[in-house]
Amino acid sequence: MALGPRLDLRQSQSLVMTPQLQQAIKLLTLSNLELENYISEEIEKNPLLESEEPSVDSASADAELTNNIDEREIQRSDEILSTGPADAEATLEMAGDADQFSNNSLSQSDGSLDGSMSMNGASASSGMAGGEAPDFENILVADLTLTDELLAQAGAVLSHADLFIARHLIDQIDECGYLQCDLLELAHRIDVELAQVRQVLTEIQKFEPVGVGARDLAECLQLQAKEADRYDPAMARLIDNLDLLAKGALPQLKRLCGVDDEDLMDMIGELRAYDPKPGLRIGGTTVQSVVPDVFVAERNGSWIIEVNSATLPKVLVNRSYYTELKDGAQDKASKEWLNECLADASWLMKALDQRQRTIVKVAAEIVKQQEEFFRKGVEHLRPLTLKNVADKIEMHESTVSRVTSNKYLSCSRGTFELKYFFTSGIQSSTGGEAASAEAVKSHIKGLIDNEDPKKILSDDKLVALLKDKGFDIARRTVAKYRESLGLGSSVQRRRQKALEGKAA
């Protein structure tokens, strides 16, 4: 067969991820605090972006500049992010023809659901009591860390080589107060004698808080018992056999310690008064409270959904600076760079606008689906999947997943991650509506909390009681949910309640 060149004409379709589309998708996954950092970086890179309050006379000019962006690219991004109609504006509506959405609020014609939001960090007050969103910017900061406290104490009592060793030891103490290194390895690393390292560690274990510098729980309790002048031979044997205490082997402990029931209970009560994590009394690292991305509140029978704009800066295009640069640009490269900055700035504003609309849309659908939870509590949480929400709001399932990642919702019942509302279902034993896994966990916890100390509920008994409540659930599932709640088995709970009863 002869070989030779030829020309073929082929037609194909491909999905191209433009930088603007990638930016829009990335913004969906960011929380409000992450978005604040991202916007700050963009403002530093783009001279046309600023976070100041826009003036009245520049608002119209900014709108004209924004309209210069190619609307076809915006429609393409909406088509990717949504499985609904190709029209970009259609994807930004809440749900159905009866929903009305504007830059500041969304509502349903039946009055059952309202929402308010602000674009690009603008203030929005409707929906929260007193016209203001609650202040979630409080940050809890430890004034003095455990490391700082220990170093200060070491500097006061140690010097020269001992202080050098103490600093290395303190660096290996975790936030709970435990030493997390091998002494022999540390001695080799800093080239000192093991005996000297042990001697310095003994000095550190005398520091406040009592128990700090211990290498395990037994040593931590031992240090606290010595400080309280309660470390006698019987207490020493009890601390050396904490595993038997955890199992509730009281007769064996009495024989090992050589004490009677009353003395053993007194010793156990003494141990309960000690702190197993003494370092936490001073604090370790800076703690930051969770900042919700969405507020939900009920007003006159309607639900108000509001995006938290307190952490978002106001973003706008600097009109006067753009005009100044445009008049001064003479060469082609400068004009192209200026147009690129304008396009990026306008795209960022549009992406922020679309992000907030999408978040409100998803949050509003979650409130619709889980309305009983917001009114009555976790026991009324319904099974819900990402696909259910995606189908209702006519978006792709991956978009809903991005919106609900690392974002929190604040309501009268507390602050919850948006992923919390998506749970698997447990079939009803009566053939009714399925219940969510979180609701079943709540019932299990309630049954165990209210159980009679003399009649501890086994997993089989829990299965029977849950079936009476309408939950068709297997024993292994009950055990899995119980363990996820941090609740022990019936044997473990029986021993624990027996110890508590004797100690009391």
Per-residue pLDDT reduced to its tens digit, 324-334: 777 775 678 88
The answer on pLDDT for 74 being more than 90 is no
Q: Which long-range contacts (CB under 8 A, 24 or more apart) does 153-162 make?
A: 153/207, 153/208, 154/203, 154/204, 154/207, 157/203, 158/200, 158/203, 161/192, 161/196, 162/196, 162/199, 162/200, 162/203
Distance CA 80, CA 28 (A): 13
Q: Given this model, what pLDDT does residue 92 score?
A: 32
pTM here?
0.52
Give the percent of the chain with pLDDT over 70.
Answer: 76
Q: Say which DSSP state 69 is in.
A: S
Q: Are 406 and 31 in contact (CB under 8 A)?
A: yes
In the predicted structure, residue 66 carries a pLDDT above the cut 50: no
Q: How confident is the model at residue 433 (pLDDT cuts 50, 70, 90)?
A: low
Q: Is the pLDDT of residue 311 over 80?
A: no
Cα angle value 12/17/23 (rounded, 5°):
165
Residue type, 77: S
* Confidence (pLDDT) at 287: 52
Question: What is the pLDDT at residue 139?
Answer: 41
For position 337, what pLDDT does the model report? 83
More confident residue, 243 or 20: 243
- CA separation for the pair 332, 284 (Å, rounded): 56
pLDDT of residue 503: 55
Whole-number mean pLDDT of the chain?
A: 76
Contacts of 312 (CB under 8 A, 6+ apart): 32, 35, 36, 39, 120, 121, 352
HSE at residue 62, side-chain half, CA atoms within 13 A, is 21
From first CA to last CA, the distance across the chain in angstroms is 98
Which of 120-124, 180-184, 308-312, 318-322 holds the top average pLDDT?
180-184
- For residue 271, the model assigns a pLDDT of 87
Alpha carbon distances (Å) from 410 to 15, 351, 368, 403, 415 = 37, 24, 16, 16, 4
Considering only 28-42, 151-165, 291-305, which range has the smallest mean pLDDT? Answer: 28-42
Q: What are phi and psi of 281, to 5 degrees?
A: -70, -30
pLDDT band at 220 (very low <50, low <70, confident <90, very high): very high
The residue with greater pLDDT, 9 or 73, is: 9
User: Where does residue 353 rank: exposed (0-12), middle (13-18), buried (19+ CB within 10 A)?
Assistant: middle
pLDDT at 201: 92
Of 284-288, 396-400, 447-451, the range with the lowest mean pLDDT is 284-288
- Among 263-277, 290-304, 400-414, 484-498, which stretch is predicted with the lowest mean pLDDT? 484-498
